[in-house]
Structure 1
């Protein structure tokens, strides 16, 4: 009984690892070639697996795409958690949180010519995954703001914004920072840093 349970656990771990291996390969290919130009054959080769192995875990490319977003979300979640653990001042943690979430996603998907296509695919087949991804930032930003407020490190009174309104503004600003000619990773990080700087200046106590 015990051996069977342990064997089942190992099998589940193997399956999870294989799914992540495929999703990681797909992430590289979608960023490099876009969604339409990437085939299941391409993903299998990039992952170093037989094509039949992909179909043991996924029905098709849409499912692989959703798994890819889920993998990216877990990586972003881990980076955001590291920011919250930090004991750095609020301005530094806000900057780090914006980078951990938005810059990580941008570096992974948004720096190439296929950004528009990938965003359309996300809207078409991965709406739920997108909501989950956006919620990562919202949750961690709320924790950061509430913790800083409890310590007296910041005050939202001068802004007239609730935590929810402030978080939504940050998310909209981060999205807007990509508008116009597509910025480089370094330029986008600088724009995120500027958003954090302006926000921190608005909520830090005066005097």
Structure 2
């Protein structure tokens, strides 16, 4: 299967998603966006649900790659934890900024994407547990609890309109409590379109 052509299908599916949402998008919409026949699209995906699942997997995998890079960076622990959290928040805010429909790819309770979203959050939690295990804690909080607190913070920031603005002061405050004094943070970036 041609990876470039599959990427084109997923890019077209994302374009349709931002315009119509998952339910209203058809295979004809995806084919039309690509400028090919519907049968050409079926060479790369089984149906529109498969296209959207593969798209969600790709976006979550890209964010997880960024989180893993942050976790293994040659940087202080606070910056590494912040980078893991920024990968999650950046994915959510980037998708939400592209279209209200894009957030459908992040629905942990949805039948199409729930397992992908849940697995992504679990992977981030594991990265955080490992970081807190290595770094230790300034307070008596177990690494798993520290990871859960961090994930809860980001989930909360995802739900407010100025979450990007609040990210740095919120993570600074939390990590100061968990790890002790912190170095200055790098700026937060968001991920938009799926390329």
Same fold (TM over 0.5): yes
> Take 1:178 and 1:171, find their aligned partners in 2: how far apart are those partners?
11
CA distance 1:122–1:37, shift in 2 (3 Å): farther
CA distance 1:88–1:197, shift in 2 (3 Å): same
Q: Which runs of 5+ in 1 are unaligned?
A: 1-11, 150-154
For residues 90-132 of structure 1, give each alpha carbon's deviation from its aligned partner in whole angstroms, at most 9, with x where no partner exists: 222222221122212330x223333665555961222221222
Higher helix share: 1
Secondary structure of 2:146's partner? helix
**Per-residue deviation, 1:147:** 2.8
CA contact (8 A) 2:130 2:143 kept: no
For residues 139-190 of structure 1, give each alpha carbon's deviation from its aligned partner in whole angstroms, at most 9, with x where no partner exists: 22223222323xxxxx15x2x422212212222221122335xx2xxx3322
**Which residue of 2 is the match for residue 27 of structure 1?**
14
> Take 2:173 and 2:147, find their aligned partners in 1: how far apart are those partners?
14
**Per-residue deviation, 1:89:** 1.8
Secondary structure of 2:74's partner? coil
Cα RMSD (Å): 2.6
> Take 1:168 and 1:131, find their aligned partners in 2: how far apart are those partners?
14
Which of the residues 146, 155, 175 maps onto 1:175?
155
1:48-63 alignment runs, 5 A limit: 48-63=35-50
**Which residue of 1 is the match for residue 165 of structure 2?**
190
TM-score normalised by length of structure 2:
0.77
Q: Which runs of 5+ in 2 are unaligned?
A: 182-195
TM-score normalised by length of structure 1:
0.73
> Take 1:147 and 1:49, find their aligned partners in 2: how far apart are those partners?
51
> Take 2:19 and 2:90, find their aligned partners in 1: how far apart are those partners?
17
Which of the residues 82, 85, 96 maps onto 1:110?
96
CA contact (8 A) 2:89 2:154 kept: yes
Structure of greater Rg: 1
CA contact (8 A) 1:23 1:67 kept: yes
> Take 1:99 and 1:197, find their aligned partners in 2: how far apart are those partners?
12
